Structure 1
Amino acid sequence: MNLAALLRRAGQAYGDMPAVALGPRTVLDYAGLARRSAVLAGGLRDRLGLAPGARVALVMTNHPAYVEILYACWWAGLAAVPVNAKLHEKEVRYILESSGAETVFATPKLADALGRVAEGLPASSRVIDVDSADYEKLLTGEPAPMAEVAPDDLAWLFFTSGTTGRPKGAMLTHRVLQAMTLSYFADVDSIRPGEAILHAAPMSHGSGLYIAPHVAGAATQIIPESGGFEPEEIFDLLPGYPGTAMFAAPTMVKRLMEHPAAASADTRNLKTVVYGGGPMYVADLKRAIDTFGQVFVQIYGQGESPMTITCLPRWDHQNTAHPRYEARLASVGRPHAVVEVMIADEDDRPLPPGETGEVLVRGDSVMPGYWQAPEATAETLRGGWLHTGDVGALDADGYLTLMDRSKDVIISGGTNIYPREVEEVLLRHPGVAEVSVVGKPHPEWGEEVAAFVVARPDAAPAAEAQALDELCLGEIARFKRPRHWYFVDALPKNNYGKVLKTELRKRLQAEGEGAA
């Protein structure tokens, strides 16, 4: 079934219900959203000449047009390529080139920069400002008929950084996103018409995936006027929207509860906070429950299995009398209803409860592979299981506890930063002989990027920090660059010459404990 059928269904049954809001103001009801998406689908197919399966990129900050563009792509039988608006121009260019996107929708401040990025791309590529007359022209005409799609047709090309240093495109099909949508209702939360989801996290990934279940439930998609996460703005919006849910990284939850307005804010309409994207410490979670009540649900997922590996439901947060209550709060919950989860050893053999190994997943919500990357697909999906790269253990009750989010990944503010991507940039500097990048614990962001650098004999180590920082700013997104520099004589290595990042992390942990 075409994902857009869920919007058509909501438009027919709940046409007068609010569908999209900008701050406190309703922009579209469900009848209007369904019609605009259908008309825009016709514009994409007929005016722009996009054939079924063509890729359409969304290089946008959170914006009301995000929802109608996503559904117009699906209505027309096209694939959406949402792109993180915080990425560096070179990273955006790589994604556009790799995906072969023929049309790029951009919010105004990004449209000008994309003019430079698009130079040299195929002539068929075009950049359209969503606040321009060109965009409005696409919304003139009659609604297009909905395209017939196969369950395994591409719907969302989810680019996620990888340990190879280049982003990989996880192919999320209509089947994958349908399974994710149904799993939300089965495992995470119920949604009634007239309730809402507040998009304070980026719609290009975390929060945007929850557009689908909330359209299926005819809930209002609230886009903050700031376009992002501003605690005071969130507190101001909540009284106007009963039954509000939001997706938040743990660092966002912490900033909300520590904001001065939290003590007096009216949060009675806050129904659900789905948190994920990084570890939530039990002490912080308990404080959040004390501040906002029993509104929390945890999810663990990856771009390759979007939001659908495990879930710690509201009941487990409420069940304080359970003898393993704190252990369950420290876990990431039980497998979603649409997947199987297995802990495996180095030979992919299943391990018994309590044993630590790699987290493997299979089910309809798992991607069929990476875009144009057969070798990476074969390695990641070997044996029919998604190999997450994360290390964890299942207890006898089926609750998964992650020992390490992954061996290398740094999670800062809920965003994944892959060290090799940063290391490859730093190694371009002529003064760098070796480098290793790891995460340094941070009380608010979870982790910050730290770089251990071995300088070449003729280089002046400490004097190079500014040059290395400028190199990063010219090549990768600002949030990925190291915030801490350590110039060392040598990196710790094992007998095979592999850098022991665990030793570097221990040094940073000891440094933090000493400071404390």
Structure 2
Amino acid sequence: MTLAAWVARAGRARPGSPAVGLGGETVLTYGALADRVARLAGGLRDRLGLAAGERVALAMANVPAYAEVLFGIWHAGLSAVPMNAKLHQSEFRHILEDSGARVCLATEGLAATVAEAGADGLDHVIAAGSADYEALVAGAPRDLEIVAPDALAWLFYTSGTTGRPKGAMLTHRNLTAMTLNYFADFDRIGPGDTILHAAPLSHGSGLWMLPHVAAGAVNVMPESGGFDADEIYSLIARWPRVSMFAAPTMVRRLTVHPGGGDTANLKLVTYGGGPMYVEDAVAALDRFGPRLAQLYGQGESPMTITHLSPEDHAARDHPSWRDRLASVGVADSVVQVRVVDGDGRPLGPGEKGEVAVFGDTVMAGYWRNAEATARTLRDGWLLTGDVGHLDEDGYLTLTDRSKDVIISGGTNIYPREVEEVLLAAPGVAEVSVIGRPHADWGEIVVAYVVAEPGATPHEGMLDRLCLERMARFKRPKRYRFVDALPKNNYGKVLKTALREMEAAREDSPAAAP
């Protein structure tokens, strides 16, 4: 069993069908994609000497080569380690060293950054499109490597609130279940259908590539490499039966974009990665009609915990319609979902507790981290760290995020990572980082800073330190210098009190993260 079998099958059955597009043009048919995938697999195994099961990292923006790299890794019986293209060098280095990747395939602009990170054990950094890369696909094609269903396929690093990012081990079985769930709960896809990849391929959009490849659809990358509303509207008009995965902030930008564009070809917009405000959902429905679906998932159960269907979005006459728009929907077809108390006992409708999920999409565990695995997986149930409640009809509403994750522009930012950087600054005694609601970005990062006696740390110095140590999008957009942080009797910082303080402020936050 291997996910790469879908490419090989499409290459035989429909070699002339478009597989990958860039802007308005097809750049690879399924015949060409299958050939390059098989040749890249040969280059990785025979030319670079990688053994079955080894990890290959991807430091790639949204480019057509992403598809052949991802499936080439799987064709060769190797494991993919996707990395966010926006990460800092130190973050690249940690993932590369922790995963043990000997090879990193990168887009041209990132190859030097990854090489300069100086990760121990990394033998090769090869830029897609370079002479070295083309040498990998110049040799003989390799036969498809058959691997066990529980073999590691996708090692996804998800930042934690207590230390370094952890690698969620996703198997071929996990990602096959996720793919089948797409067909059951989201959409049926056929050859010639299109998915636009405007969100990072290292995350949800890359995972949504799988059902579209399985169905022989075309994966289109915007020429800009990301999200631009004008470009998205032009691509919707150009390609047939278009779907896309988007963060709520992207949906909102498309909704309010002046003039908009022709959406006759738009089939489905699946949004997730953060909360969608009810009024924004209503406005999007007014703009696009019943073409919206919501998903709730985690890196540990990719894209698959609950969903709110297009039918739920469209059911304006239902007495619970607005409540359901505020929810994250019902359990997906391939999992069971429940809300539990601190001892793991299931709670009844309306009772608030931690969301837990069980099924074939739940990760095998954290890479080389038995302690974190034991905390997160209990008798096969994934404890999500999210707090919510189910209603009588099985709709799940999230009320808190116990991990305090900040979701800005659909990207997770973990306060602990930012706090540790700021605490290294001269003159800083204490720091607490929270998210502040923002109409366009969902949330922005705000840092509350307590100075050491006699010290006067300033915003410019703290901002420079953040830019030196971590990705730009994670840095605070507001610094609040305070005499003390609110704490409980045990000395724990009360982030709820900080959020209340922030909500009471009248100054407007920054326009963009």
Q: What TM-score range do you get, normalising by the shorter chain?
A: over 0.9
Choose the corresponding residue for 1:493, options 487, 490, 503: 487
Q: Secondary structure at the match of 1:8?
A: helix
Give 2:248's aligned amino acid: P
Structure-1-length-normalised TM-score = 0.97
Q: Secondary structure at the match of 1:207?
A: helix
Q: Who is 1:318 aligned against?
A: 314
Q: Who is 2:365 aligned against?
A: 369
Q: Which ranges in structure 2 are unaligned for 5 or more consecutive residues? A: none
Choose the corresponding residue for 1:403, options 393, 399, 413: 399
Shift of 1:112: 1.9
Contact 1:196/1:243 (8 A) holds in 2: yes
Give 2:440's aligned amino acid: E
- Is 1:126 matched with 2:120? no
- Is 1:390 matched with 2:389? no
Q: Who is 1:67 aligned against?
A: 67
Judging changes above 3 Å, is the alpha-carbon distance between structure 1 residues 514 and 216 closer, same or farther for their aligned structure 2 residues? closer
Distance 2:414 2:181 in 1: 28
Larger mean Cα displacement after TM superposition, 342-351 or 195-204: 342-351
Distance 2:119 2:365 in 1: 28
- Is 1:435 matched with 2:394? no
Distance 2:280 2:168 in 1: 32
Q: Secondary structure at the match of 2:174?
A: helix
Matches within 5 A, 1:22-171: 22-117=22-117, 119=118, 121-122=120-121, 125-171=123-169
Contact 1:165/1:418 (8 A) holds in 2: no
Q: Who is 2:189 aligned against?
A: 191
Judging changes above 3 Å, is the alpha-carbon distance between structure 1 residues 512 and 149 closer, same or farther for their aligned structure 2 residues? farther
Give 1:229's aligned amino acid: F
Runs of 4+ more than 3 Å apart:
512-515
Shift of 1:407: 4.2
Contact 1:278/1:405 (8 A) holds in 2: no
Distance 2:504 2:25 in 1: 50
Shift of 1:237: 1.3
Shift of 1:44: 0.7
Distance 2:493 2:482 in 1: 13
Choose the corresponding residue for 2:290, options 288, 294, 310: 294
Q: Which ranges in structure 1 are unaligned for 5 or more consecutive residues? A: none
Q: Who is 1:511 aligned against?
A: 505
Give 1:477's aligned amino acid: A
Listed one character per residue, the Cα deviations across residues 21-51 of structure 1 (whole Å, up to 9, x for unaligned) are: 0111101111111111111111111111110
Contact 1:165/1:424 (8 A) holds in 2: no
Contact 2:96/2:119 (8 A) holds in 1: no
**Percentage of identical aligned residues:** 63
Listed one character per residue, the Cα deviations across residues 438-469 of structure 1 (whole Å, up to 9, x for unaligned) are: 001111101110111111112125xx221111
Q: Who is 2:461 aligned against?
A: 467
Count of residues in Structure 1 that have an aligned counterpart in Structure 2: 509
Give 1:346's aligned amino acid: G
Distance 1:261 1:93 in 2: 44
Give 2:161's aligned amino acid: T
Q: Secondary structure at the match of 1:328?
A: helix
Q: Who is 1:353 aligned against?
A: 349
Distance 2:331 2:12 in 1: 34
- Is 1:480 matched with 2:474? yes
Contact 2:161/2:403 (8 A) holds in 1: no
Distance 2:497 2:344 in 1: 26
Q: Who is 1:14 aligned against?
A: 14
Distance 2:277 2:507 in 1: 17
Distance 2:359 2:36 in 1: 34
Distance 1:201 1:360 in 2: 27
Distance 1:472 1:26 in 2: 40
Distance 1:512 1:369 in 2: 44
Structure-2-length-normalised TM-score = 0.97
Judging changes above 3 Å, is the alpha-carbon distance between structure 1 residues 469 and 514 closer, same or farther for their aligned structure 2 residues? closer
Distance 2:79 2:119 in 1: 22
Shift of 1:239: 1.6
Judging changes above 3 Å, is the alpha-carbon distance between structure 1 residues 397 and 28 closer, same or farther for their aligned structure 2 residues? same
> Root-mean-square deviation (CA), in Å?
1.3
Distance 2:366 2:500 in 1: 34
Shift of 1:382: 2.3
Q: Secondary structure at the match of 2:231?
A: helix
Shift of 1:402: 0.5
Give 1:486's aligned amino acid: R
Q: Secondary structure at the match of 1:74?
A: helix
Distance 2:506 2:85 in 1: 32
Listed one character per residue, the Cα deviations across residues 298-328 of structure 1 (whole Å, up to 9, x for unaligned) are: 0000000000000101110111121111111
Shift of 1:13: 2.1
Q: Secondary structure at the match of 1:91?
A: helix
Contact 1:62/1:223 (8 A) holds in 2: yes
Distance 1:334 1:468 in 2: 43
